[in-house]
């Protein structure tokens, strides 16, 4: 079946380890555009953060940021969709995370989702401290109850290694939220737990675009590299992971070259049937 849309994760998938868009991946995106196939980047980064690493002239059509909470049309940077949690909902979530003595950030609503409140939990957490130091210009210490009646996009809990015990506990404890696991891009070992309003994930954003701009009679292709891509990979008709993905994902999905060896391009070539 011909391709109807191609959706790729950003860090560790489309971009190399130094956050660069390779010439081969750029040419592949341009070829997809010439064929009239919508090109979508889907990332857990906030809008501000995604724009800091994506070249302004990147040949894409849409950017799904904050794990699908926001969708932007790339050509004119128009916001097509932004989902947030209400003040009362965010307040209850923050209180629960404080009660559990977790290290977390509570991010403001899109487009200001790079701004956040930070709370230190009970245990030392080097990865949390590293993220906080990197984004200190955007951070404010959390104080409960939340005073101002603002909306929020998500909470991000940093769980130090080993394992993802808090992730499993939060999935059980927060049935009214979407709880997503990913590997820390900072130390490569900690677990980042993203908590969104119910129904927000990469697959939901992909399906929204699929219904809006694509030929739904054609095939859906997704390329990813980590646990936060699982819902997107399950949604796609043809799902690929790059060679640097965790072994668990490589065992489940068609595996191509690593992100540093243009694995995205290899996945598209395979999907196009040119291998």
Q: Which domains does the chain have, with CATH numbers?
A: 3-83+201-272 (3.40.50.1000), 87-197 (3.30.1240.10)
Of the candidates 98, 107, 31, the one whose C-alpha atom is nearest the C-alpha of residue 70 is: 107
- What pLDDT digit, counting tens, does each position of 108-156 carry? 999 999 999 999 998 899 999 999 999 999 999 999 999 878 999 999 9
| Res 245: pLDDT | 97
Give the whole-angstrom CA distance, residue 154 versus residue 134.
19
Low-confidence ranges of the chain (pLDDT < 50): 275
Helices (H) and strands (E) in the chain, counts: 9, 14
Distance of CA 189 to the CA centre of its chain: 17
Report the pLDDT value the prediction gives residue 275, as an integer from 0 to 100: 39
Instruction: Report the distance separating Cα 172 and Cα 185, nearest Å.
Output: 25
Residue 251: both structure tokens together: 């065992």
CA distances from 46 to 51, 68, 164 (A): 9, 10, 23
The pLDDT value recorded for residue 267 is 98
**Tokens linked to 187:** 């130390």
Question: If DSSP codes are grouped into helix, strand and coil, which group holds residue 205?
Answer: helix
Nearest Cα residue to 64 out of 180, 187, 201, 168: 201
Strand partners, 40: 7, 62
């Amino acid at each position: 079946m011909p391709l109807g849309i191609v959706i790729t994760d950003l860090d560790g998938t489309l971009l190399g380890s130094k956050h660069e868009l390779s010439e081969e991946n750029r040419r592949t995106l341009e070829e997809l555009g010439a064929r009239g196939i919508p090109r979508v980047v889907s990332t857990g980064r906030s809008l501000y953060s995604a724009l800091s690493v994506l070249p302004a002239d990147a040949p894409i059509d849409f950017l799904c940021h904050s794990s699908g909470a926001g969708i932007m049309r790339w050509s004119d940077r128009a916001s097509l969709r932004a989902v947030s949690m209400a003040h009362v909902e965010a307040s209850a979530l923050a209180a629960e995370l404080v009660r559990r003595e977790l290290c977390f950030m509570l991010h403001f609503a899109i487009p200001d989702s790079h701004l956040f409140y930070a709370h230190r939990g009970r245990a030392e957490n080097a990865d949390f401290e590293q993220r906080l130091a990197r984004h200190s210009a955007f951070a404010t210490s959390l104080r409960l109850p939340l005073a101002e009646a603002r909306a929020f996009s998500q909470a991000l809990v940093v769980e130090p290694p080993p394992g993802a015990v808090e992730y499993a506990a939060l999935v059980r404890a927060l049935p009214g939220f979407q709880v997503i696991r990913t590997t820390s891009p900072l130390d490569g070992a900690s677990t980042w737990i993203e908590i969104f309003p119910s129904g927000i994930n990469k697959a939901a954003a992909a399906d929204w675009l699929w219904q809006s701009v694509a030929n739904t009679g054609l095939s859906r292709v997704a390329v990813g590299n980590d646990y936060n891509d699982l819902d997107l990979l399950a949604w796609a008709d043809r799902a690929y992971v790059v060679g640097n993905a965790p072994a668990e994902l490589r065992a489940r999905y068609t595996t191509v070259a690593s992100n540093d060896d243009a694995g995205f391009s290899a996945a598209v070539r395979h999907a196009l049937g040119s291998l």
